[in-house]
Amino acid sequence: MINDKYVGKVLMVQLPNNVRPRFRWIVTKRDDGRYIARAPKIGVLVRDLDKKLDKDYNSEQLLPKNFLFWKSLSKGTKSKRKKNKLKKSKTKKR
């Protein structure tokens, strides 16, 4: 078994032929570099996925070769709004 930074974590992955990313619990990584993951069952809350209870997930499945790990929005750089100095609220003269 190969140690990897994704093994043992619940992550969003972009699977081929799917528009939206899906949550998967990455269980192991095979010697050939492919991942084995478990999908959450229907009705399990997203906030409870990190507990990784055996009853909350389906059986192990082999992920396809061409999947992508979804980039987390919380870990990325935060965009800053540019303040437009020209559009300051001005008082109207009567």
Q: Is residue 92 part of a domain?
A: no
- For residue 36, the 8-state DSSP code is E
Q: Is residue 56 part of a domain?
A: yes
Q: Strand, helix or coil at 44?
A: coil
Domain that holds residue 18: 10-72
Q: Is residue 59 part of a domain?
A: yes
Q: Is residue 49 part of a domain?
A: yes
pLDDT in tens, 4-45: 899 999 999 999 999 999 999 999 999 999 999 999 999 999
Q: What is the dihedral of CA 86, 87, 90, 93, to 10 degrees?
A: 80
The domain tally of the chain equals 1
Q: Is residue 82 part of a domain?
A: no
Q: Is residue 4 part of a domain?
A: no
Q: Is residue 34 part of a domain?
A: yes
pTM of structure: 0.71
Q: Compute the distance between CA of residue 37 and CA of residue 40 in angstroms, rounded to an integer.
A: 10
Mean pLDDT of the region 38-65: 94
Q: Extract the tokens encoding 10.
A: 């619940």
Judging by beta carbons within 10 Å of its beta carbon (0-12, 13-18, 19+), is residue 25 exposed, middle or buried? buried
